[in-house]
Amino acid sequence: MIESARADLWLWSTRFFKTRGVAADVCATGKMKRNGHPMKPSSPIQAGDLLEIPFLEGPGVRVVSVKAVITKRVGAPEAQACYEDLTSPDVYEALKAWQIAKQEAAKGRPTKRDRREIDKIHGFWD
């Protein structure tokens, strides 16, 4: 079994990020923390480490305890067995509320069908 792995490789292998490049970028910004200290993409991750992983979009930080170290991308069930999620449910609720608000704000201009529905509610000239 492997004792340690690069941070960007482990984050990609456990499916926190879609690509290793994105994982490296998050680590390089200094937002990623291991045991309370900022880390680089090449920092070693070992079993027992406590990681703070920011969400790519939205507020909040995911707190994860490393159980096992892997370096190859595996299926989701195997990847989830390599860490324990210690994030409070409040963080996930805030993230969900943020995503819903973002979707509502991005709706934009009503379609022709939406406009007809609005006219039915308000009347033609009201």
Q: What is the pLDDT of residues 4-16, one digit of tens each?
A: 999 999 999 999 9
Q: Are residues 39 and 61 in the same domain?
A: yes
Are residues 66 and 105 both part of a single domain? no
- Which residue range is the domain that position 96 belongs to? 88-126
The reply to whether 117 and 58 lie within a common domain is no
Q: Output the average pLDDT for the chain.
A: 91
Domain of 40, CATH number, reads 3.10.290.10
- Is the confidence at residue 124, as pLDDT, over 70? no
Nearest residue to 41 (alpha-carbon basis) of 12, 2, 80:
12
Q: Mean pLDDT throughout 50-63?
A: 93
Residue with tokens 């190859």: 72
Q: In this model, does residue 126 exceed pLDDT 60? A: no
Identify whether residues 52 and 112 lie together within a single domain: no
Say how many domains are in the chain: 2
Predicted model pTM: 0.81
How long a stretch of residues is the chain?
126
CA atoms of 71 and 90, how far apart (whole Å): 31
In terms of domains, do 74 and 116 share one?
no
